[in-house]
Amino acid sequence: MGIYFGIFIFFGIFAFLEIWGAKKTAILPIFLFLSLFLYILSFIRWETGTDWITYEFFFNKITGWFGESEFEWGFARLNEFVKITFDNYSVLLFILGTILFSFQTKAIYNFSCYPLTSLWLLWCISLGNVFFVRQTVATVLMFYAIRFIQEKKLYYFCFFILLAMLFHRTSIVFIFAWWVYKAKISVSRMLLIIGLSVVFSFVVGIIIGKLGETLGGIFQQKVDVYFADSDATYGMEVSKEMLVIRAVLNKGFIFFVSLYMLKKIEFKNKEYRGFLNLYWFGMVLYFSTVSISIVLARLAAVYDLTLIILIAFILKYANNIYEKLFLFLCFTGYFVLKLYTTINLYYDFYVPYKTIF
């Protein structure tokens, strides 16, 4: 685990220097270097990361083109191409990593007023996407597509959603971002809809559970599968209700700090409201589904990613040096816990970090 917290400290130092006045001319080369570092880690790994066994098994069993697969068309065809041409799983990781980090690096640098800080935050919430799966690639493609909402290029936006769907079919859910980003939603309405989504999640979860008890049979089996997923509470013995409460507290912290800074930042940078809208919609999507199935709740992944941009805005436009320092320390404490949770959730998959060498 030491390597992960070592990287946290290393990236955190650069984030601190960026926030406290590092020369802008130095930011880009450092940002590219750190992104390159993560990129290299993503394809020199071996037997490290979640779903490694599943993906490597699928790759190794390929014998020709257009074989039967439960995976999406684009992901399956890319696996077949690499298997038939190179027969080397590390080459596949290299190609997927190249796609992912190319778009991720450009998106963060274009969207964030503190790109080094955003990269540091990304490390805390998802280990910088080093241990990517196919949904991660799709998520980054959708995240990059936010630029086309800003530029009002609907066709390009739709193209990237279709491209993302080649890696994960649930990417279609991001189509709502086109309207959500530009929506003029009052704070009171935002809070009301979040509250209703939490209530909806509880009610639907209870109804499905009762129907399962009443109807039994196949329906009960399907309910058990759903709730087996939703009860995967990250190694903690808590109920579905407690999982929702913890999610409210976890996501609510970022959301309410973002609301606190809304009027000040929106006046200076109109894109802040768009990213806040996306994060809010992700909360609604998550709370509406998490007590039903944690698998469904993962639909909110790309919306949640916007927090790395929101926090950079918040730190840049803090009212004074004391507020900026206070917020930085609060976020540091919060994301230390976030990083620990991320690693501890799948400890055996991340520790130790193995390489091909």
Residue 171 Cα distances to 129, 154, 314, 350, angstroms? 17, 16, 28, 26
| Distance separating alpha carbons of residues 12 and 121, to the nearest angstrom | 9
Q: Among 58-67, 207-216, 272-281, which is the least confidently predicted range?
A: 207-216
Once rounded to an integer, what is the mean pLDDT over residues 161-177?
Answer: 95
pLDDT of residue 207: 78
CA distances 296 to 201, 259, 299, Å, are 12, 26, 6
Mapped onto helix, strand or coil, the DSSP state of residue 45 is strand
Q: Mean pLDDT lowest for which of 15-19, 296-300, 307-311, 322-326?
A: 296-300
pLDDT in the model for residue 204 = 77
Residue partners of 255: CB distance under 8 A and separation at least 6:
194, 279, 280, 283
d(CA 28, CA 309): 17
Average pLDDT over residues 130-159: 97
- At 232, the pLDDT band (50, 70, 90 cuts) reads very low
Mean confidence (pLDDT) of the chain: 89
Cis bond leading into 352, ω under 30°?
yes
Mean pLDDT calculated for residue range 140-165: 97
- 183-226 pLDDT tens trace: 999 999 999 999 998 888 778 777 766 776 676 555 545 555 54
Q: In the predicted model, what is the mean pLDDT of residues 28-55?
A: 96
Give the confidence band of 235 by pLDDT, cuts at 50, 70, 90. Answer: very low
Three-class DSSP category at 240 = helix
| Position 241 confidence tier, pLDDT thresholds 50, 70, 90 | low
pLDDT value at residue 215: 65
What phi, psi does 213 have (nearest 5°)?
A: -65, -35
Q: Where are the alpha helices (DSSP H) in the chain?
A: 2-19, 24-44, 52-60, 73-85, 89-111, 115-126, 134-144, 146-150, 154-165, 177-180, 187-215, 217-230, 240-260, 262-268, 271-289, 294-297, 301-304, 307-316, 321-345, 347-350
Write the pLDDT tens digit of every residue in 26-41.
899 999 999 999 999 9
The mean pLDDT of 20-24, rounded to a whole number, is 80
Burial of 246 (0-12, 13-18, 19+ CB in 10 A): middle
Tokens standing for residue 245:
């409460």
